[in-house]
Chain A
């Protein structure tokens, strides 16, 4: 069965600091997808990135970057020069179609609460 672990429950930084959110996953499938979602205080989950298991290239999008390493089953997320608006709960998630079916349900970690102080 799949599992996602986000060991950091809460992180607090000062604005403009860089911060890395850790994510470790477990799966027996060779084909799977990894995600990061942001959940601001309003509650709606906002999609940030998707990675499939065959693409280990790191990705940068503005101040956000992601480091996917299959060897350590990790998919870490870094925010550079953090801002107060980055304050939210961040979730890492894993998806695989069990039995080769069409149900790509997401398995989420418990989330990391990031607080960026001015």
Chain B
């Protein structure tokens, strides 16, 4: 399968614990996005990478959140000291970046986080 993959698909954790999610984009895609989707809402933008550089972070991304994309390949999203309000689906998307042109974003299946 050559689509965007995310692991784990589900994560249940206790409040206060740290969690880390992984996203493997489509191999030739150099743009990578993280979104968060809560129940009954559309996905909301969290952060954006072009290659290994994190170029934008949403105000939704508090200090407890950190994302990396070492070597411009896979990306990780870590949440420290989880809170119940962090419970959501975390979606990753990638696109092929050609200069400033728009390119389609392809979404992964998401990681559903439940904080007890």
Contact = CB atoms under 8 A, between A and B. Distances in A.
Interface string A100-118: 1111111111110000000
B102 A52 contact: yes
A44 B108 CA distance: 7
B1 interface: no
Contacts of B107: 37, 44-45, 47
A46 to B, nearest CB: 8
A111 B42 contact: yes
Question: Which label, helix, strand, loop or mixed, suits the secondary structure of the B interface?
Answer: strand
A102 B104 contact: no
B60 to A, nearest CB: 12
A106 B48 contact: no
Contacts of A110: 40-42
Nearest to A32: B102
Of A4, A91, A97, A104, which is in contact with the most chain B CB atoms at under 10 Å from its CB?
A104
A45 B90 CA distance: 12
Interface of B: 31, 33, 35, 40-45, 48, 50, 55-56, 89, 91, 93, 95, 97, 100, 102-110, 112
5 smallest beta-carbon distances between A and B, as pairs: A108-B42, A45-B107, A105-B45, A103-B48, A44-B109
